[in-house]
Structure 1
Amino acid sequence: MLKIGDQLPEFKGINQNGETIDSKNLTGKKLVVFFYPKANTPGCTAEACNLRDNDSELKKQGFQLLGVSADPVKSQKNFSEKYELPFDIIADENRDIIEKFGVWQLKKFMGKEFMGVVRTTFVFDENGICTQVIDKVKTKDHAAQILEK
């Protein structure tokens, strides 16, 4: 998993509108990249909506948000439209970005083990250097976790 001090990995992904997002175009602002397991599930919805509800404050503090999950573009588009998300979310079906950040890991749920996306958020400075890793995401209060640093 990426850690504080690491450089933002180079990647390209397709957002909810079918547009290409290139990491080379994401420097110059503070960047929040949040990984979530699955669109339209309770925890992921709470997290995305909390970020949506605090979007103006996050922008005021200079943050740009980018969500990533392994869902297909159609699911991401539905999720984005249903909850009126004001930021891009990437459909990383082949897990290229997910694996570059190191968030595809062994998970345990109800006594079963499986591989999946571990809910994690990375904050990068204007130069693309990781300044914060949030691995214990509070889905209903996530914006506060980002803003408190």
Structure 2
Amino acid sequence: MTVEIGQTAPQFELPANNGEMVSLNDFQGKNVVLYFYPKDMTPGCTTQACDFRDHHESFSDVDAVIIGVSPDPIERHTKFIDKHGLPFLLLADEKHEVAEAYDVWKLKKNFGKEYMGIERSTFVIDKEGKVVKEWRKVRVKGHVEEALSYIRENLI
């Protein structure tokens, strides 16, 4: 399945670090920055999460909610949030069903080994639930600022 700009975002319901089941429908009427990342506590993922943390208030100012998704279990998400003071939800996609729905579960290669994992990607979903922007194979440096600029220029 592929996600296309202008189409309704694939719906999902996943456990969140706050102990609740969270669905995309919970955020209708808000802009959503849905970002998929490979693994808690790794250097690139930590930098990205902390960049979102540092810009959290600016996203709130443009009526946008940040949601992170990885295959890590809730317990690991909770440690990650506590360690870095993350003010947004992290969802546990342990069976990678949501990652597959957004077409970010990919064959990866690292040091000659092949394995399936998350391709770092971000989707902006507007207040009506439509995908309006996507970034795939995200490079962490400058990405959060780029996503924030997109929302400021196109969704307010």
> TM (normalized to structure 2)?
0.90
Unaligned runs of 5+ in 2: 151-156
2:106 corresponding residue in structure 1: 105
In structure 1, what is the equivalent of residue 77 of structure 2? 76
AA at the equivalent of 1:124: I
Retained in 1: the 8 A contact 2:32–2:124? yes
- Tell me the C-alpha RMSD between the 2 structures: 1.2
Give the stretch that moved more between structures: 21-30 or 36-45. 21-30
Contact conserved, 2:119 with 2:137, CA < 8 A, in 1? no
Work out whether residues 58 and 143 of structure 1, in 8 Å CA contact, stay in contact via their aligned partners in 2.
no
* Cα distance in 2 between the residues matched to 1:87 and 1:130: 20
Match of 2:8 in 1: 7
Q: Aligned AA for 2:128? A: N
> For residues 88 and 100 of structure 1, what CA distance do their matches in structure 2 show?
19
Instruction: Measure the CA separation in 2 of the matches of 1:10 and 1:25.
Output: 10
**Hey, what's the Cα distance between the residues in 2 that align with 1:49 and 1:118?**
19
Counterparts of 2:7 and 2:104, CA distance in 1: 15
Report the alpha carbon displacement of residue 3 of structure 1 after superposing the two structures with TM: 2.5
CA contact (8 A) 1:47 1:141 kept: no
Residue 137 of structure 1 deviates from its aligned partner by: 2.1
Q: Return 5+ residue gaps in structure 1 as ranges.
A: none
